[in-house]
Amino acid sequence: KPGMAASGGEMAKPSAIVKLSWKVDNLDQDELRYRLYYRLEGEKTWRSMLKPAEKLTRTDHDGDTSTRPEGTYRVLVEASDELSNPPDRVLRHSLESSGVLVDNTPPVFKALALRGRRLTGEVVDGLGPISRIEVSIAGTDEWRPLWPKDSVFDEPDETFDADLSSLVPAGSHLLAVRAYDAAGNAVTRDVEAK
């Protein structure tokens, strides 16, 4: 599934910046100007992504989503040759993107419990799927993956049940449990093993 992180390795760092790029066939090599618009799915009104006086002539743009509500957006790119032609000869073409997920909030643990060396819990994200759950003895840099009960990270609500006997030695230890959503947002909670 697009946007899902592979097991193991480094997770993507969360960012409120959405990198957009597009290709244009421009046979007559006119100088092109681009206008970018966005709308939240379910809305009808397109809103400009650019500042009022901004003139975009590149085929890429970094959009800051930190001040926009979370959800799935559509982006409309309009190309125009108005910089090279008089008004009555200007050609325009636009194309709408597929859905772009804006998710700047980390998931939350609805439940987290450790009984003996059996760790159970539920982690939920408001928008995207949970992409990783991992555990570490607090103070170490060694994170070990945990699997959801259904063995697939594909839902915004995942439960887990893991026997940590082989990871956590006898005695009292503080464990850190961390969960990521598909956007790279993470939450960490501690639980004590006695």
Rounded Cα distance between 68 and 49, Å, is: 11
Identify the pLDDT of residue 10: 66
Identify the pLDDT of residue 1: 43
Identify the pLDDT of residue 12: 66
Q: What is the pTM of this model?
A: 0.76
Buried b (16+ CB within 10 A) or exposed e, 137-148: beeeeeeeebeb
Identify the pLDDT of residue 138: 81
Identify the pLDDT of residue 54: 94
Nearest alpha-carbon partner for 164 in 127, 133, 188, 123 = 133
Identify the pLDDT of residue 97: 95
> Which residues does the chain have with pLDDT short of 70?
1-12
